[in-house]
């Protein structure tokens, strides 16, 4: 049973919110206080520039950054100023902070305590609370030094120190509905503790969480399921465009953090404890979002070889968590409903990366009927790189525990070798249940099944791009070739053309049609396709343009149409050509 705390909702939660707002403890506010260099370094998990930037600064914003972002102890007086409405006592009641001895903070603080005069009257806690009356700048031991971390800038050496029990990070979001500033509480990170994570650690908004938030389409819907909510970041985003949000997690601690975050940000959630889809059996949703515990973790008959982390390990062998979720999700989607999830999948020796995922999609359709699917592989790692990534993620390093590191590394490699795994893919899975019944499916366009690699740079957020692409697929796939020939198409505003010539040549060797946003697709085009795209200004139909090209290049119209119609449909689906 864990002994590390979770935040507690008290009647004074409004006061905490007021203090955070008053201190401008927002993404922008933190950036302004730290400055560009320190702020960017912090995003790379480098704290020294931030500590230097905050040295000697006991303004509320700086104090909150030290406590809840950097995990640094602060003086009681600084904390009291930051929690002006809530008070330190109120913050302690919420399990946000606790008193810590100076000897526990740093060698500099411990040595200062030892050197402190013994004939001074120690301040009581009640006296210290009247910070503005009793603790002025004259009580500092020394003037601040820009080269020292903030924790070494001491006032009265007998003044109590406070440390954070959890992290609270500001989080900003801007979408079509405007901008919001949230606060997200989570367990103390390795950055704050300097050690390995607890097995029931609750993450904040990490890279994977932000990726999922950015790729999810924000169409207004009635019901949303956030499966594996963790600290609740996906549920907060869903509240921007949904009437009801059900958030589930296997971890009771995670749900306590999600409950606190929802209340702090004035959002209503239906929180349920349980594994995968069990808490919502028999229910249907318009949108499912999931950052599931997809990390592939070694298993042995003798038991688990390495620490298991609830936030990333679902307890299944191999990639079964993602496999089972893809197969089962169609059963909880309303007609027209979509699911967005992240996942890992194993690629076994001699396989293409999408072979097993295609099999999973076949299973899903056999279980729940037609299902549109778009799988985007964003990253590919070999077993050694994968093991190194996730061993380090848990805070285990070769320096801290050489034997444990080696045993864990070997266990991971042995596990992958037992299934002939030669690579592990990471990516985004988008599923949609067609808005038709099984009896109507015969007249419905073929389900979308798209499995592609997109390992290059993309322009986030991708959510609107994915939604527009699915809508374009629906439109163009419903058209016959004859109907497509009657359409007037327009080149999207972000599309450019590049031509490459051999010096002295009259005609280009290569023509690239390039997309400027979203996936940034680069399509190599032949002369006829490039000519068609260049003529798509909305004035002429596709058929008229094809007719002109046949005359210009003296080719057969039927053969040209047969060659170009698949390319035209692809360009429409990808957003390079737009229907009117």
- pLDDT tens sequence across 518-577: 999 999 999 999 999 999 999 999 999 999 999 999 999 999 999 999 999 999 999 999
The pLDDT tens digits of the residues spanning 247-292 come to 999 999 999 999 999 999 999 999 999 999 999 999 999 999 999 9
Q: In the prediction, which pLDDT does 307 show?
A: 67
Q: Contact, 278 vs 212, CB < 8 A?
A: no
Domain boundaries of the chain, sorted by first residue: 13-168, 470-579
- The DSSP secondary-structure symbol of 313 reads B
Rounded mean pLDDT of the chain? 88
Q: Which pLDDT belongs to residue 565?
A: 98
Summarize the confidence of residues 101-112 as an average pLDDT: 53
From the CB of residue 247, how many other CB atoms can be counted at a distance below 10 Å? 27
122: DSSP letter = P
pLDDT in tens, 340-349: 999 999 999 9
DSSP three-state, residue 377: strand
Q: 470-579 in CATH: which number? A: 3.90.930
Rg of the chain over CA atoms, in angstroms? 29
Spatial separation of the C-alpha atoms in residues 250 and 227, rounded to whole Å: 9
Residue 167 pLDDT exceeds 80: yes
Exposure string for 289-313, b = 16+ CB within 10 A, e = fewer: bbbbbbbbbbbeeeeebbbbbbbbb
137: confidence class by pLDDT, cuts 50, 70, 90: very low
Residues contacting residue 490 through CB under 8 Å, at least 6 positions apart: 536, 537, 538, 577, 578, 580
Helix (H, G, I), strand (E, B) or coil at 342: strand
Q: Is the pLDDT of residue 245 over 50?
A: yes
Is the model's pLDDT at 188 over the cut of 90? Answer: yes
Segment 177-186, tens digit of pLDDT: 788 899 999 9
The mean pLDDT of 76-103, rounded to a whole number, is 94
**pLDDT attached to residue 128:** 35
- Rounded to an integer, the average pLDDT of 25-48 is 95
Confidence at residue 200, expressed as pLDDT on a 0 to 100 scale: 84
Q: For residue 181, with 0-12 CB atoms within 10 Å meaning exposed, 13-18 middle and 19 or more buried, which class applies?
A: middle
Please tell me the distance from the alpha carbon of residue 90 to that of residue 97, in angstroms, as a whole number: 10
What number is the average pLDDT over the span 332-356? Answer: 97
**What is the band of 220 on the pLDDT scale with cuts at 50, 70, 90?**
very high
Q: Is 441 exposed, middle or buried (0-12, 13-18, 19+ CB in 10 A)?
A: middle
Q: How far apart are CA 104 and CA 161, in angstroms?
A: 10
């Amino acid at each position: 049973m864990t002994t590390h705390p979770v935040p507690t909702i008290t009647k004074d939660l409004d006061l905490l919110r007021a203090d955070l707002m008053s201190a401008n403890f927002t993404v922008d506010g933190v950036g302004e206080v730290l400055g560009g260099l320190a702020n960017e370094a912090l995003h790379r998990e480098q704290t020294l520039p931030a500590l230097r930037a905050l040295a000697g600064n006991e303004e509320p914003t700086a104090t909150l950054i030290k406590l809840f972002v950097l995990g640094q102890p602060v003086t009681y007086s600084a904390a009291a100023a930051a929690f002006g409405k809530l008070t330190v006592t109120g913050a302690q009641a919420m399990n946000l902070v606790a008193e810590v001895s100076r000897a526990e903070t740093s060698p500099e603080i411990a040595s200062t305590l030892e050197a402190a005069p013994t004939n001074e009257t120690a301040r009581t806690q009640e006296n210290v609370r009247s910070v503005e009356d009793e603790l002025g700048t004259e009580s500092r031991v020394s003037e601040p030094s820009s080269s020292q971390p903030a924790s070494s800038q001491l006032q009265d050496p007998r003044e109590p120190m406070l440390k954070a029990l959890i992290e609270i990070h500001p989080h900003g979001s801007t979408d079509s509905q405007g901008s919001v500033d949230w606060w997200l509480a989570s367990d103390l990170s390795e950055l704050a503790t300097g050690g390995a994570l607890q097995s029931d650690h609750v993450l904040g908004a990490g890279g994977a969480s932000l990726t999922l938030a950015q790729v999810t389409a924000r169409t207004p819907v009635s019901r949303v399921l956030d499966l594996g909510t963790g600290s609740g970041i996906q549920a907060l985003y869903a509240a921007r465009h949904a009437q009801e949000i059900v958030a589930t997690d296997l971890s009771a601690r995670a749900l306590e953090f999600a409950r606190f975050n929802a209340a702090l940000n004035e959002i209503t959630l239906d929180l349920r404890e349980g594994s995968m889809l069990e808490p919502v059996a028999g229910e249907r949703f318009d949108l499912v979002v999931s950052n599931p515990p997809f990390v592939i973790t070694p298993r042995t008959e003798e038991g688990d070889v390495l620490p298991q982390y609830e936030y990333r390990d679902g307890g299944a062998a191999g990639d079964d968590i993602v496999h089972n979720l893809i197969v089962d999700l169609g059963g909880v989607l309303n007609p027209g409903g979509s699911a967005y999830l992240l996942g890992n999948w194993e690629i076994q020796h001699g396989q293409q990366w999408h072979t097993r995922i295609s099999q999973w999609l076949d299973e899903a359709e056999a279980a729940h009927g037609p299902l549109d699917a778009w799988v985007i592989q964003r990253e590919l790692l070999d077993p050694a790189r994968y093991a190194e990534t996730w061993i380090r993620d848990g805070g285990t390093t070769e320096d801290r525990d050489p034997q444990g590191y080696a045993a864990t590394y070997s266990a991971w490699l042995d596990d992958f070798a037992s299934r002939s795994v030669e690579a592990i893919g990471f990516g985004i899975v988008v599923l949609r249940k067609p808005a038709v019944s099984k009896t109507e499916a015969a007249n419905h366009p073929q389900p979308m099944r798209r499995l592609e690699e997109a390992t290059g740079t993309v322009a986030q957020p991708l959510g609107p791009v994915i939604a527009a692409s699915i809508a374009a697929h629906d439109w163009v796939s419903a058209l016959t070739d004859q109907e497509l020939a009657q359409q007037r198409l327009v080149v999207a505003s972000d599309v450019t053309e590049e031509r490459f010539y051999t010096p002295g040549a009259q005609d280009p060797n290569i023509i690239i049609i390039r997309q400027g946003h979203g996936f940034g697709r680069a399509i190599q085009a032949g002369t006829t396709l490039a000519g068609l795209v260049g003529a798509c200004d909305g004035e002429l139909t596709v058929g008229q343009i094809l007719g002109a090209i046949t005359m210009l290049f003296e080719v057969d119209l039927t053969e040209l149409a047969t060659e170009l119609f698949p390319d035209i449909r692809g360009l429409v689906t990808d957003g390079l050509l737009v229907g009117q």
